[in-house]
Amino acid sequence: MKAENETKRNIKLAVDYGLYTLIACVFVLPIIYMFVSAFKTDAQIVSDMSTVKAFLPTGKLSFDNFVAIVDQVKFFRFFKNSALVTLLNVSLATILNAMAGYCLGMLDFKSKKTIISLIIALSIVPSEAVVLNKFMIVNKLGMINSLLGLAIPSVGYPMFIFLYYNHFKGMPKELVEAAIVDGETYGGVFWKIMLPLSKPVLATVTIMGFIRSWGDLLWPTLVTRDETWRTLPLALRALSTDVYIYWGQIFAFSSLMTLPVLILFLVFQKQFIASVTSSGIKG
Amino acid sequence: MRKAFTIVLMVILAVLPLMANGNSEKAVVEQAEPTSIKVWVSSGSEDGVYKKVFDNLEASLGITVVDEYYPKDELDQKLQVSPIVGDTPDLIVCDYLMVPSYYEAGLIKSIEDHISDSLKEDLIPSVVTETSYDGHTISIAQFDAGMGLWANKQMLIDAGVRIPTSYKDAWTKEEFEDALKKLKANGVEYPLYIRQNKAASLYFQYMPFIASFNGEYMNEDGTVTGAINGEGTLAAFEYLSWMVKEGYINGKCDYENGFYERKESALALLGHWKYSDHVNFLGDDAIIIPCPDMGNGVFTCSGSTVWAMTSAVDKNNSENLVWKVMEGALSEENIRIVTDFNGAIPSRKTVMDGVDNLKEDGRLYLYREQLEAGISVLRPLTPAHMTIYAEMQNAYKDVIGGADPKSVLDEAAKAIDEVILDNGWNR
């Protein structure tokens, strides 16, 4: 009986692990494909497509694609631009959206419900629908083809405000009341008490904001008007033309471009998962 | 925590003004006699040769050409908002299909007053057609596309298939089907490669088949219902679907080299731009044959990159200078710089005569013969180009994937006409 149970348990474990491995493969294999292909020649990549060899280091492997994107495509110039834009955007987004979420979640004031409803309504408006209006405003402000023009307009983001709002709403109001009784200001409560207790949401907003800004294509397409502030996604798109697709360089470029996102996720992994489980974010 | 955030915020606020370098600082200075022009080029594999052409023009005209290269979509988006920003270039070099919508939007100037009759007469007919819109010449082209079927000569011989040498002795529909059957029976896994891995390109490449089935993409009134889903075009799409079902085309192909490297195909519906790959891999076995006559004649298709003067020349007072640049681009030397690189057909008859491959026994003579015979069809010159392009890309993809051609084309026609009618682009 015991042996039978043991066998059943082992079979169940094997099935579970098999399933998990399969799911992991769906997520991991494209990344392996990308990194492996970055070292192959264009001809080898095309030749390996649709076969299992695409995931294996076949043919002549070299750093030629990386050398080409650094020397010819000037990867690091675009990397610097993307890094500055993302740093500015994410820094402001984490703070300003948190401030908005704190006000809505912790404080009571007139029209609060209307504002929350408007923010939720805004989150269903696709950014493409307002891109031209936003562009005209940025142009009027003289921020076209500048770092500010690239980073500022997408700082306020309804979903982030809603995340913070949800987080602060769930926190005990007594914390604020006690601090106010002790002579602290609302601003002081935010900086000294609320923000330090919001690390999981901060991590989530940082990661999501980073991905959003790092991979944005449409806005930089419009706002950059020459080479000065061109970002990584624009440079990556240029590697695929109507006539020729530079596969090796695309994979090498994508590999280098993905690394910061992977590193960021690994650094904030614990907080991100904590926030996901508490807020129910998906995808 | 508070301290850290305060520092970050202060640093950001302190550097914000330093980082603003928007166009408000760029005062527009009108030049009486400009010595410099700005050019935006739709980037591609020819970027290097365009730089060479601009270097030549700079040296011969004593001017500065500020050339910037953007992918097609990016160029289109940037150009559309350029009047708002005020940075429209003087000249654009892009796909001829993009120009009509810019012309309709007032972004492009007609060059009718500049181009001489003798120059016009020296241009091949297909180039005259692609550079004209609304009764005006609105651009110039250095070359035109050559289109037909690339074929692996040895495979055709091995399968006992006749090899046509002129558009006048192209295969009939029956002969074409017989050739596919014989090639398949002779071990050629998928006899025909049509670049199905990049369905967007079929909007162009499949046109000779559509025309030969008596189909078309657009009605004379500028709408598409009845054309895109009309009898002829539908027959061409059903034929495409049939070729995939019969296994003559690999519907699941996601690679470029089915014809020249994997050699799983003996025929490739591709144009001049694959010259290097095909000749390098197949040597003398890489030959060009005409597209088959599916019942209504033999056709090829054409269209190329054009140079168009923008209306910014009025503000910049650079109209004459820009025309000199355009005229210079049509010199034999500058045309040959481009066509020797990409294997395309020079737009001027006098330049064509000097190209060995285009002489009567040359490897690419068929391209010249077809273009001079005027059997070339163009994609519709319409402001709705990008809409049609996007819809047809999906239509080709779906039909190759097994969808019903009629419902796919009906849906595409409906979607395209909605945009055309909404914008008043019908005539």
Nearest CA in chain A to B281: A43
Q: Quick check: B157 contacting A, CB < 8 Å?
A: no
pLDDT at position B187: 95
How many beta-carbon pairs under 8 angstroms link A with B?
Answer: 102
Highest mean pLDDT among A44-53, A110-119, B180-189: B180-189
User: How big is the CA angle at A150 (ends A144 and A155), to the nearest 5 degrees?
Assistant: 130
Which chain A positions have a beta carbon within 8 Å of B6's beta carbon? 191
Q: Which pLDDT tens digit goes with each residue over B139-178? A: 999 999 999 999 999 999 999 999 999 999 999 999 999 9
Beta carbons of A142 and B19 less than 8 Å apart:
no
Task: Give the model's confidence band at A3: pLDDT under 50 very low, under 70 low, under 90 confident, else very high.
Answer: confident
SS3 B314: helix
> What pLDDT does B16 receive?
46
* Number of other CB atoms surrounding residue A64 within 10 Å: 15
pLDDT value of residue A126: 86
The full DSSP string for B44-103 is: STTHHHHHHHHHHHHHHHT-EEEEEEE-HHHHHHHHHHHHHHT---SEEEEEGGGHHHHH
**Domain A73-280 in CATH: superfamily?**
MetI-like (1.10.3720.10)
pLDDT in tens, B349-405: 999 988 988 998 898 999 999 998 989 999 998 989 889 999 999 999 999 999 999
Return d(Cα B382, Cα B133) in angstroms, integer: 9
Judge whether residue B18 has pLDDT over 50: no
B400 near B206, Cβ under 8 Å? Answer: no
Query: Which of A135, A219, A242 best tests the B interface by mutation, with the highest count of B CBs <10 A?
Result: A242
CA A55 to chain centre: 26
Q: Mutation test of the interface with chain A: which of B38, B40, B72, B84, choosing the one with the most A Cβ atoms within 10 A? A: B84
Identify the CA nearest to B198 among candidates B273, B305, B110.
B273
> What per-residue confidence (pLDDT) applies to B386?
86
Q: What residues of A are in contact with residue B193 (Cβ under 8 Å)?
A: none
pLDDT of residue B25: 40
Average pLDDT on B189-215 reads 94
The confidence score (pLDDT) of residue B20 equals 43
Is A147's Cβ below 8 Å from some Cβ in B?
yes
pLDDT at B138: 96
B12 at the A interface (CB within 8 A)? yes
Nearest CA to A82 out of A201, A219, A205 is that of A219
For chain A, give every residue range classified as CATH 1.10.3720.10: 73-280
Residues A241, A243, A246, CA angle at the centre, nearest 5°? 55
Alpha helices in chain A (DSSP H): 2-37, 42-48, 64-71, 75-106, 112-123, 131-140, 147-151, 158-169, 173-181, 186-189, 199-214, 218-223, 232-237, 247-279
Domains of chain B, with CATH numbers?
36-145+303-352 (3.40.190.10), 165-301+379-423 (3.40.190.10)
Query: Is B145:B303 a contact under the CB 8 Å cutoff?
Result: yes
Residue A283 is predicted with a pLDDT of 42
Q: Identify the residue whose tokens are 């000749």.
A: B279
Residue B263 has pLDDT above 80, yes or no: yes
Q: Which residue of B has its CA nearest to A187?
A: B2
**Tokens matching residue A164:** 């913070």
Instruction: Flag whether residue B189 sits within 8 Å of chain A, measured between CB atoms.
Output: no
Cβ of A238 and B43 within 8 Å?
yes
Q: Express each pLDDT in A160-203 by its tens digit.
A: 999 999 999 988 888 888 888 888 888 888 898 888 988 889 98
pLDDT at B13: 46
- Has residue B24 got a pLDDT over 60? no
| Cα gap B138→B86, rounded to integer Å | 22
Determine whether the interchain pair B256/A245 forms a contact, defined as Cβ–Cβ distance below 8 Å.
yes
B10 touches chain A (CB under 8 A): no
Band of pLDDT at residue B342, cut at 50, 70 and 90: confident
> For position B197, what pLDDT does the model report?
87
Query: Pick from B4, B2, B13: which is nearest to A188 by CA?
Result: B2
> With 60 as the cut, is the pLDDT of residue B4 above it?
no
Q: Do A136 and B20 touch (CB under 8 A)?
A: no
A256 touches chain B (CB under 8 A): no
| Closest listed residue to residue B391, CA positions, set B426, B419, B422 | B419
Question: Residue B60 corresponds to which amino acid?
Answer: S
Burial class (CB in 10 A: 0-12, 13-18, 19+), B67: buried
Q: Which of B19-23, B154-158, B267-271, B302-306 has the lowest mean pLDDT?
A: B19-23
Segment among A118-132, B12-26, B240-254, B392-406 with least mean pLDDT: B12-26
Q: Are strands B91-95 and B36-42 parallel, antiparallel or unpaired?
A: parallel
- Do the chains contact at A225 and B23, CB–CB below 8 Å? yes
Residues of chain A contacting B21 with CB distance shorter than 8 Å: 145-146
pLDDT, average across residues B54-70: 95
| pLDDT on residue B27 | 43
Cβ distance A238 to B22 less than 8 Å, yes or no, reads no
Least confident of A173-182, B61-70, B134-143, B317-326: A173-182
Contact B144, B396 (CB under 8 A): no
Q: Which of B22, B84, B273 is closest, CB to CB, to A243?
A: B273
Q: What percentage of chain B carries pLDDT values higher than 90?
A: 77
Candidates B20, B74, B262; nearest CB to A234 = B74
Contact A237 B9 (CB under 8 A): no
- Whether pLDDT at A243 is above 80: no
| Minimum CA–CA partner of A50 in chain B | B254
CB contact under 8 A, A244 and B84: no
